[in-house]
A and B are shown apart, each in its own frame.
Chain A
Amino acid sequence: MVPHEDSSLFPRSAGDAAADDAPLDLAASAALIETQRARVAAATDLDARLLFGVWGAAWLVGFAALYAVALDPPLLGWPAWSAGALFAALLVAAMVVTAVHIASRSKGVRGVSSRAGAMYGWGWGLSFGGVAALGSALARAGASAEVMQLVMTVVPALLVGALYMVGAAMSGSRTQFALGAWIAAVTIVAATVGAPGILAVMSVAGGGGMLVGAVLEQLRRRRMSPRADR
């Protein structure tokens, strides 16, 4: 019989404070640590499956739509602007999902990681502000539609690859690094293919690659913790 160390501090009449201070056995302690660690990780870690999934789907469908209307003759009878609008809407939706997910997972956490996250976020925001400025500058300078499409596909995609790799260096995530390197490599190949094939490459290999990344992340989680995510 093991008397409880704190029994004098927690009279039985103190209600729940006494009840959850009941003596722990060793196996129960170990199980409790494991359960609570898993709970904290599930509540505060970003879910790469969700993020890779929404961005992969947006690229896959959006670039495919651009490709379908860019072909001669077009695969889809849509006006060209509607494919661009669809892609823009998909990207905005992915951004909203990402922002909501990050806000909910990092809620109430302050300190080193929220500072690092804010810096990383500014890195994305300023880079893509620059891409938007480049796009409007090229349009003002009279760039052709083909030049615009090449630049506005290659530059943002390279940035995504680079920022994924940098983010992976911060978090130590091999999956994220591999995905960033894959996107950069796909973009290099796509750039050499040129219009309109670049759009097909970005859709299938870029968007598809991110979806494969989401699946690999699911498999990694299942391997790490056989009982989770069933």
Chain B
Amino acid sequence: MVHELLDPVIHTQSRLRIMTTLTALRAGDRLTFPRLQGLLDATAGNLSTHLRKLEDAGYIAVTKAHVGRVPITYVEATRAGRRAFEDYTEQLRVLLTPPTGAAGPTEENR
């Protein structure tokens, strides 16, 4: 089963899109929650659920700050998260590249 090689924390539509978005920023950059939500077209509740799973895995860091009295939530990919995403994309690339001399992913892989 090829999917066993892929990190299950990342390998879902929502969390893959979150990690893609956060790692597209420069290391050391973070996004406000509403901006992240806007880039994903996600509902706040759904996004929070997935952010919690990614935070539990140590892939993202969530920080809270106040501007005046307004609370702001920032989200950023951690170093571990960037590494996990790189590993994920590398695995994906390997799995999508047919082995030379064979006719692509074969039945024995499934």
Seen from chain A, the residues whose Cβ lies within 8 Å of a Cβ on chain B are 2, 5-6, 16-17, 20-24, 26-27, 29-30, 32-33, 36-37, 39-41, 43-44, 107-114
Chain A residues within 8 Å of B26, by CB: 111-113
Knowing A33-B89, A39-B39, A44-B25 are in contact, say whether A5-B8 is a contact too (CB < 8 A).
yes
Chain A residues within 8 Å of B29, by CB: 109-114
Q: Which single residue of chain B is at the shortest CB-CB distance from A1?
A: B110
Q: Which single residue of chain A is at the shortest CB-CB distance from B28?
A: A112
Interface of chain A, helix or strand or loop or mixed? helix
Looking at the assembled complex, report how far the CB atom of A24 sits from the nearest CB atom of chain B, in whole angstroms.
Answer: 6
Which residues of chain B from 71 to 110 have any CB-CB distance to chain A below 8 Å in the complex? 74, 76, 89, 92-93, 95-96
Knowing A6-B12, A22-B13, A33-B89 are in contact, say whether A110-B3 is a contact too (CB < 8 A).
no
Contacting pair A29 B16 (CB below 8 A): yes
A44 to B27, CA, bound (A): 15
Contact of A2 among B1, B12, B21, B30 (CB under 8 A): B1
Which residues of chain B from 47 to 61 have any CB-CB distance to chain A below 8 Å in the complex? 49-50
Seen from chain B, the residues whose Cβ lies within 8 Å of a Cβ on chain A are 1-3, 6, 8, 11-14, 16-17, 20-21, 24-32, 34-36, 38-39, 43, 46, 49-50, 74, 76, 89, 92-93, 95-96
Q: Could you write out 29 A-B pairs with CB less than 8 Å apart?
A: A2-B1, A5-B8, A5-B12, A16-B43, A20-B13, A20-B14, A21-B14, A23-B3, A24-B12, A24-B13, A26-B95, A26-B96, A29-B16, A33-B20, A36-B20, A36-B21, A36-B24, A40-B25, A40-B39, A107-B35, A108-B32, A108-B35, A108-B38, A110-B31, A111-B25, A111-B26, A112-B27, A113-B28, A114-B29
Contacting pair A37 B8 (CB below 8 A): no
Given contacts A5-B8, A108-B31, 13 further A-B contacts (CB under 8 A): A16-B43, A24-B16, A26-B2, A32-B13, A32-B20, A33-B92, A36-B17, A40-B39, A108-B35, A108-B36, A110-B29, A110-B31, A114-B29
Contacting pair A109 B31 (CB below 8 A): yes
Looking at the assembled complex, report how far the CB atom of A218 sits from the nearest CB atom of chain B, in whole angstroms.
Answer: 22
Chain A residues within 8 Å of B27, by CB: 112
A41 to B23, CA, bound (A): 11
